[in-house]
Chains A and B, each alone.
Chain A
Amino acid sequence: MSRTGTKLDAKKVNSELFTLTYGALVAQLIKDYENVEDVNKQLERMGYNIGIRLIEDFLARTGSGRCYDFRDTAEKIQSGFKIFLGITPSITNWSPAGDEFSLCFETNPLTEFVELPDNCSNLKYCNILTGVLRGACEMVQMEIACWFVQDQLKNDNVTELRVKFIKRLEDAIPAGED
């Protein structure tokens, strides 16, 4: 989703095109790897590489500051979904320690026309998202873990993405930032 000129006006992209492109990617990976676990891993890795770049776009667009609380982070991740995918997942299921939360997707543009065949029951179709979140957070010196606990493609009511804070990457914090 690039922009015209230097205005912060996102060029709208048809979400169906995006959905189908992602579908083509996953289908190709399944062909290439044959093993569903490997596909999950590859998706995560690709997502990571996207995330470490996408974070700059997010920061440049929103001008948001550093998070000093994981609740800030949750809200910023939520707004990131709004910017890049046009959806607003709800933030739920906070752990008592406040270091773990869930993002619940009622709708998900990635899975719009998708149903999983029987031989892919272990496939985490949207696993690219976990990589994106991990990569993006790592660039702002936060180590997180991220995984799917519910998936609409597997007949759950909602798609639930669990995000867990692991640690701050103190060494990586740039000088003059903390």
Chain B
Amino acid sequence: MVIYGVYIVSKSGGLIFNHDHNVPKIEVEKSFNFPLDIKLNYENKKVVVVFGQRDGINVGHVLTAVNGIAVTGRELEDGRDALEMLEQPENFPITLKFGRAKMTTNEKIFLASMFYPLFAIASQLSPEPRSSGIEVLEADTFRLYCFQTLTGIKFMIVAEPSQPGMEILLKRVYDLYADYALKNPFYALEMPIRCELFETNLQTLLETVEKSGISNV
């Protein structure tokens, strides 16, 4: 029973709110000898595992630290290049930490605005007239639920596929939005929601749903 996150997209397609709720943290630290038996590559400003999946280090994971020193991009904090270091035998044995890449805010904004046309396309592709857009998008590890209000705001929840009652939860989130975002006189419509009351109430709601199910909200 896990809810991964909540997103709100405005009428014009911009991400105005996102909340990472319960994203499991995946991190594996392991020491290696020369030569390295994992194939690493530098892509999208990250050092990524491209082949050689084992011990919980999966393809697609990102190198986050070398010998306990954090890696940003391909550089260590002290300025050394991580990939060059791994080619030199004298640096071994070496401890590497891998983890799943975190989405940056920019990536989230990008993805949210990608969903906007997908939603519209879905309603146009439909064989039936007057179809809605995407309401549920299912994958093997998650389900994305989307609820569009009559005014055009989209509420989205990403949750585990087995999590029930998400449609009802979306309406509850809409309630909270109407109460704590819109009644806040300092909140301007269409702008990112930075309302503490909204956030805390949302957090409480999500926790209640995870603990005791949708019937108690």
Residues of A within 8 A of B (CB): 2-3, 6, 8, 52-57, 59-61, 63, 65-66, 139-140, 172, 174-178
- Which of these binds chain A: B62-70, B89-97, B105-113, B115-123? B115-123
| Pairwise interchain contact A65-B133, C-beta atoms closer than 8 A | no
Distance from A76 Cβ to chain B, minimum over Cβ atoms (Å): 11
| Pairwise interchain contact B148-A176, C-beta atoms closer than 8 A | yes
7 new A-B pairs (CB below 8 Å) besides A6-B217, A59-B178?
A57-B179, A59-B174, A60-B175, A63-B171, A174-B148, A175-B120, A177-B150
| Pairwise interchain contact A176-B132, C-beta atoms closer than 8 A | yes
Interface: B211 (CB within 8 A):
no
Cβ–Cβ < 8 Å partners of A53 in chain B: 182-183, 189
| Pairwise interchain contact A177-B175, C-beta atoms closer than 8 A | no
Distance from B37 Cβ to chain A, minimum over Cβ atoms (Å): 49
Residue in B149, B153, B172 whose beta carbon sits within 8 Å of that of A6 in the complex: B172
Mask, B150-172, CB within 8 Å of A = 1, is 11110000000000000000011
Residue in A6, A172, A177 whose beta carbon sits within 8 Å of that of B201 in the complex: A6
| Pairwise interchain contact B189-A176, C-beta atoms closer than 8 A | no
Which chain A residue shows the least CB distance to B130?
A: A178
A53 to B177, CA, bound (A): 10
Contact count band on B:
20 to 34
Which residue of B151, B172, B179, B201 has the most chain A CB atoms within 10 A of its CB atom? B151
Cβ–Cβ < 8 Å partners of A61 in chain B: 175, 178
Q: With A6-B175, A60-B177, A61-B175 given, is the CB distance from A177 to B182 under 8 Å?
A: no
Sample of 25 A–B contacts (CB below 8 Å): A2-B179, A3-B179, A6-B201, A6-B205, A6-B217, A53-B183, A53-B189, A56-B174, A60-B177, A61-B178, A63-B171, A65-B150, A66-B150, A140-B150, A140-B151, A174-B152, A175-B123, A175-B133, A176-B120, A176-B122, A176-B131, A176-B133, A177-B132, A177-B152, A178-B130
Q: With A140-B151, A174-B152 given, is the CB distance from A60 to B178 under 8 Å?
A: yes
Cβ–Cβ < 8 Å partners of B46 in chain A: none
Interface: B176 (CB within 8 A):
yes
Cβ–Cβ < 8 Å partners of A52 in chain B: 189
| Pairwise interchain contact A56-B130, C-beta atoms closer than 8 A | no
Cβ–Cβ < 8 Å partners of B177 in chain A: 56, 60
A54 to B182, CA, bound (A): 8
Distance from B48 Cβ to chain A, minimum over Cβ atoms (Å): 35
Cβ–Cβ < 8 Å partners of B171 in chain A: 60, 63
| Pairwise interchain contact B179-A177, C-beta atoms closer than 8 A | no
Within 8 A of A (CB), among B175-217: 175-179, 182-183, 189, 201, 205, 217
Residue in A8, A57, A66, A174 whose beta carbon sits within 8 Å of that of B182 in the complex: A57
Distance from B134 Cβ to chain A, minimum over Cβ atoms (Å): 8
Residue in B122, B124, B131, B178 whose beta carbon sits within 8 Å of that of A56 in the complex: B178
| Pairwise interchain contact A56-B119, C-beta atoms closer than 8 A | no
Which chain B residue shows the least CB distance to A53?
A: B182
A55 to B153, CA, bound (A): 12
A75 to B131, CA, bound (A): 26
Interface: B11 (CB within 8 A):
yes
Cβ–Cβ < 8 Å partners of B201 in chain A: 6
A22 to B201, CA, bound (A): 29
A63 to B132, CA, bound (A): 16
